[in-house]
Copies of this chain bind each other. A is one copy, B any other.
């Protein structure tokens, strides 16, 4: 026999909060163990050991749902937090994910679907609409703008990133330090920088390494 999923709600709108509470308590397999009207109360009173899944409103007065998520996850990394939002906002989405949210769903989601999403989160999945999933996976797709560097220059760049100097790079590549110096000059010209630190920054930013 499955344990009931213990759910906590953090939501400032009393009506919505109570609605969700009723929904949960009247659904077999679910139990609403706590309701909070703001992030401060949740951070104060929520016992992470007694909760499986948190439904977290993003737009809370005072401390935001995102900050609350970040703090709760610091206390208990295993806690599953599902963000609730009314509007699809890219910044809020990614800030939520970085804060440690497990799922991201719209408030207009149907009650049945929300119960399903809570179960998904509890069982190790991440509930989100396929439209939101698309926005998430698009962040991975970065068509690499053809690197302006030659193969050898890219190789030298990897040693620059490691903080090596002319001499040690030269030894690693079995060439003269003067050669490395020439390569680095060319790298600087092509990346439009003039110091190692800048080159390393640009290398990271443009995914040249």
Chain A residues in the interface with B (C-beta under 8 A): 73-74, 77, 94, 97-102, 120, 124-131, 133-134, 136-137, 140-143, 160-163, 165, 193-201, 204
Given A100-B141, A141-B73, answer yes or no on A163-B126 (Cβ-Cβ < 8 Å): no
Given A142-B98, A195-B163, A204-B204, answer yes or no on A125-B131 (Cβ-Cβ < 8 Å): yes
A96 and chain B: residue at smallest CB distance: B140
Instruction: Give complex CA distance A160, B133 in Å.
Output: 36
A sample of 7 more A-B contacts (CB under 8 A), given A73-B141, A162-B197, is A73-B143, A74-B143, A94-B140, A98-B140, A127-B130, A165-B195, A195-B196
State the number of copies, please: 2
Given A126-B130, A128-B133, A134-B102, answer yes or no on A197-B143 (Cβ-Cβ < 8 Å): no
Minimal beta-carbon separation of A170 from chain B (angstroms): 16
Instruction: Give complex CA distance A9, B118 in Å.
Output: 35
